[in-house]
């Protein structure tokens, strides 16, 4: 979801954003690329870096992933009152935001692959 929301990211930045190590991220990106969901492109600002961005197939998959995520959210919060649901989701959003500064890196513009 990070490349969908932030655009093209360096593999290392992507690993930090999702709390992964570089080796795991390298393998994950390779599998996603083989499946056709992402592509790797040279960075236009740093010749040593490679950016990861969603492919057309990856972009097309976004609606399905977001639908599954919404269903999971409904399942997890189903027994809560509307106010309780809003409070729980707001708390989770705050937790996510508090983690973001520790791994925040701006996305680079996509290179033409």
What average pLDDT does this structure show over 11-30? 88
Rounded to whole angstroms, how far apart are CA atoms 14 and 8?
A: 9
Length of the chain in terms of residues written: 113
pLDDT for 39-73, tens place per residue? 999 988 888 888 999 999 999 999 999 999 889 88
pLDDT tops 90 at residue 16: no
- Helices (runs of H) and strands (runs of E) counted in the chain: 5, 3
Predicted confidence at residue 110, as pLDDT, reads: 54
Q: What are phi and psi of 9, to 5 degrees?
A: -130, 150
Predicted confidence at residue 35, as pLDDT, reads: 94
Alpha helices, DSSP H only, in 35-81? Answer: 56-77
């Amino acid at each position: 979801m990070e490349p969908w929301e932030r655009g093209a990211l360096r593999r290392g930045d992507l690993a930090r954003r999702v709390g992964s190590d570089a080796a795991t991220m390298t393998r994950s990106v390779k599998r996603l690329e083989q499946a056709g969901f992402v592509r790797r492109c040279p960075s236009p600002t740093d010749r040593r870096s490679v950016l990861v961005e969603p492919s057309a197939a990856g972009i097309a998959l976004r609606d399905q992933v977001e639908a599954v995520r919404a269903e999971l959210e409904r399942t997890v919060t189903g027994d809560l009152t509307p106010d309780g649901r809003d409070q729980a989701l707001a708390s989770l959003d705050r937790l996510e935001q508090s983690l973001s500064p520790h791994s925040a890196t701006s996305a680079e513009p996509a290179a033409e692959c």
